[in-house]
Each structure stands twice: as C-alpha cells, then as structure tokens.
Structure 1
C-alpha cells in the first residue's frame, strides 16, 4: 500500500473513553478465561470429578449462551431507551456477572461427585446466561464509537492492552489459591480469591457503562425495529462476514479441542505431579502471556496502519502456528522455562488477531449499512459469538473424550508415559493443522483500507443527501 488515510479529528475517540472501554473488556476476558482455566484444575484435579462429565457441563451452558446471543444482540439493536441502546445492558450484566462468577467456586465439598457435577452444571448455566447480557452490547458499543478505519483499530488496541493488564491477575489465581493462608487447599483458595475478582469485575463494568458514549444513536433512532430472524438471515448474506467468522471460529476450536492439556503437561510432564512447583511456572507463563499481549498492541497498530488488517491477521496466524510447533522442543522437563518461548509467540499472535477481529466486523457493519441502510452491530457481534460458542461447545465435549483417549486418570498424582506423550502430540499438532485452514480463508479477505474509506465516503454522501436544507 502506497498511501494511507489520516483519521479526522471528528472521528477520534477521547482517550478517557478508550480507557473506559478497555476496562470494560476486562470483565469478559477475566471472567470467561478464569472459568475456562480454573474449571479442570478445581473440579477435575482438585475434586476428582470426571473430565467427561465436566466437558458436558461446560458444553451445554455454552450452547445455551450461543442460542440467546442473537436475541440479545437484536434486542440491543432495537433498544430505544433514554440511556441508549447499549448502556442499560452493561449495567445489569455487570452486576449479574459478579454474582454468577463467585457462585461457580462455592461448591459444597461434602457432596458426592455427582452432586458436585450437578452444582457446576447449574451455576455455569447461570454464569453463561448473564455473560452475554454484558458482552454482546459491549462488543457492539465498540463497533459504533467511530466511523474511521484506523480509529477502530486504535480503540480495540486499547481494549487489548487494558484487558491484558487486567488479565495479569488471572494466572496468579491458582498460585495464590495454593498459598499456606488457605491451608494448602487450592479449591478453598480459589473460592476466596475469586470473591475479590468478582467485586473488581462489577466495578470495571460500571466504569465502562458510565463513561463511554454510544455512536450511531441518531441513525438507529430513525430505523424501524427489525425482527431477530430477519437480522439473523442478513448476516448470512454477507460473504465477507462469513469468511472472517469461519477463520476465527476455526482458530478458537483448534485450541478448545486441547483446552487444559497444557496445564496437565506442565503439572505431570514437566514437574512429575507437583502442583505447587508447576503453579509457579504456570503463573509466570500467564503473566508473560498478558504482558506480551499488552506490548503486542503497539506493533499490531503500526502493522495494521502500514499494511492493512488482513496482512496483520495473516502474520498473527503464522506466529500462532509456529509458536505451537515450537513446543516440540520447548516441552522439556530439564528446562521447564523454555515454555516461555511458545507463550510469547502464541500471545503475540492471539493479541494481533483478536484485537483486529472486532475492528474488522465494524468495517463489515459499515458495508452492511451501505447495502441495506440498517445499522446492526449487535446482531453481527452476536452471530460471530454464536458461531464460535456453538463450535466451542461441541469441541469441549470432544475434548473430554480426547483426554480420556490419552489415558488421563482424573484425580491421580501421576500419569503414564504413554498418556503424557499423547497429551503433547495432540496439544501441539492439532491446533497447527486446523489453523492452516484459517490462513486459506483469510488470504482472499476483500475488505481493504481503500474499500473501507470508499464505503465511508458513500455513507457520508447518502447522509448529506437525506438531510433537509438548513437542518445541519
């Protein structure tokens, strides 16, 4: 690309709002990732509940979450409250997430394995019901705060940086839970550490809700309310959107199929079952992951402005594939800290990719408005989430069987050499192979910087033509 557009002053988002929006991103990043990372450590390793049971208990609520996402997205798009389309959902959802998150870890210890499974199933269903009340309007809010191609990238870069600053605490939850103050009982420790996290998550949601300003309110107020099925179908007529969704859903599924294997490999292969020693390296890698994610936003923003979003996302996938394959060497019991190298590669790739996907969906929403005259960021963000949540739910169930296939024994202090080899083989090879398909899908992604600014100019002309003389 030989020339680039400069963001106009009118299209710039105040830094205070970018910071508040990024703080709001902490809510879903920390809450959802905590559940993903801690569930097996608490319920499978700590309480000895079957990994297959837990796989089902994780999958069903995510399927329910996926079902309600489009309805919440459409409801937010059609909302005409005095406080806007998104803000009321952020307030209600932020409070409920704090309550639901802590409930997950207050499982009664004297219940049977079946009882503990049932408890997790009910509380996770509640958790994944309230998360989209907040997450879908929050995502849609970011997509409509500016009309500029590069400013969208800047906003979601802030979101990545601040979200990862919040995520710095995440890998230390399990480490803190193993401290002597909790009697060496990690399950009890997780319960009390997560109580503090719950309070902070709700506070972050409130800051975002009361600081950020919605965009496109005028356009939305002029359009008729659209039924959810009609909005849902509209997203499937957009081939650009389908190509983007396919690539990112495959990326998410690739790692969900082996979710938790990395923790098992570190505990049982690198440290022979010593959870205390393993928790220190796991915490270090988690902190490194978040730190690289923070720093990665800066080269991501530069690369996106210089070479475009498609190139930057393709580079991200190359880092992800290469980083995962490097584990062939870096999983070494004699050198457990070698695992920091794939952590850096994977974190940098994920930071690039997931910082840009929302900005790319925002560009697609502009393309949709040009084609139909309707703004529906909520339904587009919801359908994107719908696809990956359905895929993740299926992958989660498969993951439990895949874990059982490796010979992994729940609650055991050690695992066999055959099991440890199979855990490594699946965890390294499967994501790399699936991500190659994503690269193929993105190689022909059509919505370039030039096309995005062309769409913006056409929308501006249409708005000017529709404005009565003297109304401005």
Structure 2
C-alpha cells in the first residue's frame, strides 16, 4: 500500500474547520438566534433555516459539474476550495451581524438573504472537498485512514466551534454576543481554507478524464448506480437525525438539564469521546469491513439516544455517559460512509471513462445539506407542537409540554432516524453496480 504523506492527510483534513463550523454553528445557534433575539415563531424560524439550504440541494450538483470541468481544464480543484472557503467565512459573519431594522420580518429577511449567499459559497467549497478523496488515493484502506484523519479534525473543529460559539454568545450576551461569535467563527474558516489550499498543493489528482457529457447521461448513471443510491439514502436519513439533535442542544441545556452553561459541556461530552475513539474505526473497518463497522456505529448511537430519553429523571452524570456513547457512535457514522463513497466513485469512473467525482460529490452534498436543513425545521415543528413560547430575550417561561417536546426532539427523533438507516445498509452498497 502506498500511504499518503502526513502533510497531505493533514492539509486535506484541515478543511474540516470550514465544514465543521458551517455545519455545526447554524444548526446549533441559528434557531435560538431567530426565536430568542428576533421573536420569530419556532415554525417560521425552522423554515428560515431550511430555505437557503434547500437552494443548495438544487445548486450542489451544478457546483459539482463546474468543479469537474475546472479539474479537466486546470488539473486542480483547489481554486474552488479557496474562493468558496473565503466566501463562506465572510458571509457567515454577516448572518449573525443582526442589522436591527426594528421589524421582525425585515430582520428575518436579512438573515435569509445572508444565509442564502453563504450556503451558495459553501457549495463551491464542500463539493470539491468531498470529491478529493477519490483522487488523492486509490487504496481501499488508505481512504478509510484519510477519512478518519478528516473526521478527527472535524471532531476538533466541532469541539472548537460547537463549544466556543455558545460560550462567546453566553459570555457577551444578547445581539452583541452573536455578532462577535460570527466574526470569530469566520476567522477560523479563513484559517481552515488557507490550510487546505496550501496543504494539498502538489497532491495527486488521479486520472484526468473528461467530465460527464450531459445531464441526461448523468441521470442515466444515477438510475443504474444502485450502490450509490443506497448509501446516499442512509446518509440523508442520518444527517437529518444528527441535525435534529444538534438543533436541540441549546434548548436541552436550558430546559431539560436546567443550565444554559451546560451547552458547552454537552458538546465536549459528545465530541471528545468521538475524537478519542476515532483511531479505532479504521481498525474495525480493516478487520471486519466498512459495512460492519458502520452498522455497529449506528447501534451505539441508537442505544445512547434511547438512554437520553430518560434525561428528565436521570442524574446529569448518567445522562452524560449516554452523551459520550452517542459521540462514539457519531464518529463511526461519519467515517464509514465517507470512506465507502470514493470506492464507489472510482469504480464508476473506471466503468464510464468519465469524471464522476465532482458531480457525485455534488449530489452527495445536496443530500447532506437537505438533511442538515430539514433537521432544525423538524425540531422547530416539534417546538411549535409542544407550545414553545418565543421571545426577544430568551426569558419566557415554558410549559411542561414544551420541555417534553424538546427532549423528544433532542433524543428520541435522532435515535430513530439514525437507526432507520440500518435496513438500507445492504451488502450491495459495497458492490460497484
């Protein structure tokens, strides 16, 4: 096996500081930002979180096709990574700038526009980023190792952004806290963008093939590509579950565990076990196979969510044990689908003789984006069904029904959705067709 240099692994994985911050912070704080500083009703706030990302579902495959064309012409996807990452950083800070128009519809409209532009910029970063592993190495086990490095840095990025962003907003407080948080997270994204751009300089790009001739040929491929469709279905359902859990952390810390400051500890308790156990997943994949490892991770996550459903009556320490177990399962849920995907891409490119990495990554990212967007929206609907009371200063008392709804959205729904992927994890996923 020809191993990738550590510089290439680390350089590629540094992009996780962009994907981690963008994927974590809006899902964690955008909903309470809208409901508790702008008095936007929960269902409407959920829709606001959804709309810009729904656009990305349509646009990501387009970004993938543009990325494939750029690779064929320039021999690199790195220019897309640079421009997309820097754009995400600036626009992310703009989302939380809170212009204070004095009107809830105007303030909410500003957030929609800024988030819409930021999501578009993110497509130009995330799509080529997901396409790179299929080109950096053709080795089955090395791809799992590369992905584990990526998810390891992603865990650190989530720990920094998911723990740091709420801490900034809580310590400074109010609208100013959100503004400062947006600037700090944007700076982290800039550093991640520069790191991945410089770190992948001179890295392998695989065989340069012509891009997919047209959308008709692409659609024909997707209809026939059974293994990819199964894996994509699993990833979508589980992204939805993880996004629902993420959207509930802020609310759970305040109303289930009774302390807003526990939000940071919840993140540390979730992400740190994921980071510590990350090296185990490539070994499990090498010994028992990627599919078996994937199933084991799903079960661990599901068991943890079942335990968290009793958080209202359990001691906080016991609940945190289940939080840690969920983090262990989360690590495997992230590693294995991203390790299987480049194997499928390479087999399909060999079969068709055309570049498929960018457009496939575009469809993949669209599915992930849709799941991550629907999660907060789903949680917003749960809040509304439970009678959650929105406010402008997060001080409104909540009825018992709202607290129960928060717990169900934070624990039960994510567990059900992640376990729902198990029947889709068929052996045919590991087959080229």
TM value normalised by structure 1: 0.85
Q: Is the 8 A contact 1:22 1:158 kept in 2?
A: yes
Shift of 1:341: 1.7
Distance 2:373 2:187 in 1: 28
2:264 corresponds, among 280, 283, 299, to 283
1:381 corresponds, among 349, 361, 366, to 361
2:181 corresponds, among 167, 170, 193, to 193
Shift of 1:426: 4.4
Shift of 1:436: 3.3
State which structure, 1 or 2, has the greater radius of gyration over its C-alpha atoms.
1
Is 1:140 the counterpart of 2:131? The answer is yes
Q: Is the 8 A contact 2:241 2:417 kept in 1?
A: yes
Structure 2 partner of 1:177: 169
1:234 corresponds, among 209, 217, 221, to 221
Structure 1 partner of 2:145: 154
Is 1:432 the counterpart of 2:415? The answer is yes
Structure 2 partner of 1:405: 385
Distance 2:429 2:160 in 1: 38
Distance 2:166 2:46 in 1: 20
Q: Is the 8 A contact 1:71 1:228 kept in 2?
A: no
Distance 1:226 1:325 in 2: 48
Q: Which runs of 5+ in 2 are unaligned?
A: none
Q: Is the 8 A contact 1:78 1:226 kept in 2?
A: no
Distance 2:292 2:128 in 1: 28
Distance 1:257 1:292, change over 3 A: closer
1:247 corresponds, among 234, 239, 242, to 234
Distance 1:415 1:30 in 2: 30
Distance 2:50 2:121 in 1: 16
Distance 1:400 1:160 in 2: 28
Pairwise CA RMSD of aligned residues? 2.2
Shift of 1:395: 5.0
Distance 1:270 1:290, change over 3 A: closer
Distance 1:43 1:388, change over 3 A: same
Shift of 1:401: 2.5
State the number of aligned residues: 428
Equivalent residues in 2 for 1:207-218 (5 A)? 207-212=195-200, 213-217=202-206
Distance 1:216 1:187 in 2: 45
Equivalent residues in 2 for 1:319-398 (5 A)? 319-332=300-313, 335-394=315-374, 396-398=376-378
Shift of 1:294: 1.5
Distance 1:233 1:85, change over 3 A: farther
Q: Is the 8 A contact 1:325 1:429 kept in 2?
A: yes
Shift of 1:257: 4.8
2:35 corresponds, among 11, 24, 44, to 44
Question: SS in structure 1 opposite 2:132?
Answer: helix
